[in-house]
Chains A and B, each alone.
Chain A
Amino acid sequence: MLTEAVKRQLTAIVGPENFQDNKASLLVYSYDATPQFQSMPDAVVAPRNTEEVSSVLKLCNENEIPIIPRGSGTNLSAGTTPLNGGIVLLFKHMQDIIEIDEENLTITVQPGLITLDMIHAVEAKGLFYPPDPSSMKISTIGGNLNENSGGLRGLKYGVTRDYVMGLEVVLPNGDIIRTGGKLAKDVAGYDLTRLFVGSEGTLGVITEATLKLVPMPETKKTMLALYEGIEAAAEAVSSIIANRIIPTTLEFLDRPTLKVVEEFAQIGLPTDIEAVLLIEQDGPEEVVERDISNIAALCRENQAIQVDIAKSEMEADALRTARRTALSALARLKPTTILEDATVPRSKIAAMVRAINDIAKQYDVEICTFGHAGDGNLHPTCLTDVRNKEEIHRVEQAFEAIFHKAVELGGTITGEHGVGAMKSPYLHLKLGEEGIDTMKGIKQAFDPNNIMNPGKVFAKSERKRVVVQP
């Protein structure tokens, strides 16, 4: 609970219209896109500029009030649920494009800007910002930075991290710092830019970002390869990469996923085969043509029963849209959908897919798998019902087994969703106690009072996921 004095001070900083604490407002900021997590904040505050962010943080630091920075609330690791109450910080007044620099090929933006709006703005100038998380139509850049979001194009172009050149950050004590800049080379001190990207709002509040742009690729081609066995598809992925071809996108969908995606999007996807690879290549026309024909040959060598190359941009776009909606289309089958993102080195894709299937059988749970096969980032998705406590318990056991297997194969517990509250109990699997202690030391240096998004990344103990009701 906030004291009246704190409420008065917050209102004075941001203006009465940007401070809300009625029950309905608190309720609608008590969740994000993660099932089973919900907890009420004490207030919702929307600062209008960096100075106001700084004043809010300073006030909260002095009074040890938790701060939860929130974009559009689409994250899947409970990263923006206010587990310990506190203040949900909104960026609806900070969504400007400050500058598109066509000489240095950079864009400088405020954190509340919608990802797709930014992509449209740079594409209008013939430039390209590759990271494309599935939620880009509604996610904010601030959210992407804090979660280090990936996307479909990660294999060739990397993820959000690879496009961040400089940041303006407000620290918990109210200090405003700038990191990096429009510089290809910069070794002045520690790389704080990289530290903040993916920090899940636990170190400070990003208030401005300068991002790298690249020239728009000239052409793009999209194809589908169909398989009668999941493993044959996974092996084709490994063989494409091993043959020194890096496609823009190399996505994998299994049969249950295909079926629901087709039902939802109705674009003529085959639903009677076991696995599909959605492959895209972009670049100069002759390179794209050559790569696509080589990839098609490799797919056939690896027992593809059919290879289709999209004939028009419309056809290609429909295929991409279908993949983007995979997660949500799966949600039609059962009331609760739990999506994970265990990631392995891409050479281990086939082994991981096999392991997921075995684990699903072992714990008798329904798991559909799709994902960014090219970069080893799979999304085993469990269809269940939160009301069935016994099944939920088995689901949690299955996922724990999946995490163990991923780490055993040289992978990680999360490729792009972040640790948040959902995966904090498993972080030690990947980092070991020493690794966690090192990170805790960094957290302590920036945020000694633990006000920045508390309860995320680091688990209190190795407890399992819990349902937190407001």
Chain B
Amino acid sequence: MITAQEKKRIQTEFQEKMDYDELLNCMRCGFCLPSCPTYIESGYDEAHSPRGRIALMKAVVDGDIEPDEDVKRSLDMCLGCRACEPVCPSGVKYGHLLEQARDIIYQNHQLSTSTKAIRNIAFTGLFPNQSRMRTLTGLLGFYQRSGLQKAARRTGLMKFLPENLRTMEQVLPEVPSLKQLKNRPDHLPSLIPQKKKIAFFSGCLMDSMFMSTNDATMKLLQYAGCEIVIPDSQACCGALHGHSGEKQQAKELARRNIAAFEASGADHIITNAGGCGAFLTDYDHLLKDDPEWAPRAAAFAAKIKDISSVLTELEFDKLPLELPEQIITYQDSCHLKNVQKTFLEPRQLLQSIAGGQYKEMKDADRCCGSAGIYNIVESEMSMQILDYKMEQVQDTMAKTIVTANPGCLLQMKLGIEREGLTESMRAVHIVDLLLEAYEYAREPVGS
């Protein structure tokens, strides 16, 4: 329950902090409605549409309604996929409005003890702290390799977990050992005559649980002609914090990252996670009220590029790439497409693989329901969205679903597991598939 006092505080802060020009900028034309996954999956409920949410935010500012549970519910239900932004003719920056509104609500509302505990562990304890992240990943590795995982599954311990978490446990990648996690490079040379100097944003989840994907990313960059700098003082991008109403922590992380990369002298800062990349490009907005950091944030944001974008720029798709015959389909990362506007490049790369038959699925750009921690906190809606997604995937008869963000990757793996398709289908990160194709094309015939 939100208490009367909390409501009052939330309302006052809405009036002080919400960007009223931006709220007025929504002309309520409704063009966003068909792009919104929660509007569609809720059976066309306006309260779960971008237009409805903006109207609610504005009504709270105007004092027409109180920020009650139903208003919070509407904002909580949003995936934050921002598919409404590219289709908005008035150019409303919905993502920024949502972040601000959630931040105000979460900073002023006493959460239940268990929710608070989960948020605390994730946002304060884990994500900003790379060594703890590594320890946890190490523990996970121990769990997977020691036989504990098998035992847990055998004894039926897992059935105490909710269904989606149980399945999630099964689809987590095999993680590297603690020792591997600690020996990360900070500089790598180009393997062909150098074309660019880039800095690599390794990301917290990507550099622990998905370390092999990060390694693949760097190999591709080396093959494509990049000298790579990996500043070791970099931190988590802060996206999870920013999207979940923990803006203050997101800002601190942003400052740390900007400082870490300023010294690199690189042409671009490369990411391989659509979610991180989008948040990094939004640093200028995040720090816009900080006179010292605003210009530095803008310079930083302008350098962010997704791996697929720099690879196409370096004509990686012109190199020999080959795979055994298979149908490949691509699931857009919402933030890569809607915020970074990168959606042609991954397709161009995938279409250049010999032996691969690229087939676009229907609504490839509709969110898969992963959305940060959404699939854990709003699992019912998330699974409903995933079910729709899996129908579209299956219509393509694809063997390989390609994604460009760790959250999407896990979610697609979850989808495959839930549909019982593990034998016939796999989900991979685009860089892993590209490296596979690069190496396969260079294998000696008959080997």
**Interface set of A (CB-CB < 8 Å, partner B):** 22-25, 27-33, 35, 72-74, 90, 92-93, 112, 114, 135, 137-138, 264, 325, 327-329, 331-332, 335-337, 386-387, 469-470
Contact = CB atoms under 8 A, between A and B. Distances in A.
B33 A331 contact: no
Given A28-B55, A335-B24, A23 B65 contact: yes
Contacts of B25: 331-332, 335
A255 to B, nearest CB: 18
B29 A328 contact: yes
Contacts of A264: 89, 91
B148 interface: no
A29 B70 contact: no
Contacts of B345: none
Interface stretch (B39-47, B231-239, B252-260): B39-47
Contact of B74 (A24, A32, A328): A24
Nearest to B49: A28
A72 B43 CA distance: 12
A25 B70 contact: yes
A445 B235 CA distance: 72
Contacts of A337: 27
Interface residues of B, number: 33
B162 interface: no
Among the interface residues B46, B49, B90, which one has the most CB atoms of the partner chain A within 10 A? B46
B25 to A, nearest CB: 6
A29 B44 CA distance: 12
Q: Tell me what chain A mostly uses at the interface: helix, strand, loop, or mixed.
A: loop
B16 interface: no
B11 to A, nearest CB: 13
B31 A137 contact: yes
B56 interface: yes
Interface of B: 21, 24-25, 27-31, 33-34, 43-47, 49, 51-52, 55-56, 59, 64-66, 68, 70-71, 73-74, 88-91
A93 B43 CA distance: 8
Contacts of B45: 92
Contacts of B33: 72, 138
Contacts of A72: 30, 33, 44
Nearest to A73: B30
A33 B30 contact: yes
Contact of A74 (B30, B70, B71): B30
The 3 A-B pairs with the shortest beta carbon distances in the complex, nearest first, are A328-B89, A24-B70, A28-B52
Given A74-B29, A74-B30, A138-B31, A25 B47 contact: yes
26 contacts: A22-B70, A23-B68, A24-B47, A24-B68, A27-B56, A27-B59, A28-B49, A31-B55, A32-B28, A73-B46, A90-B44, A92-B43, A92-B45, A112-B44, A114-B34, A135-B29, A137-B34, A264-B91, A328-B29, A328-B31, A328-B88, A331-B25, A331-B27, A332-B89, A335-B25, A470-B59
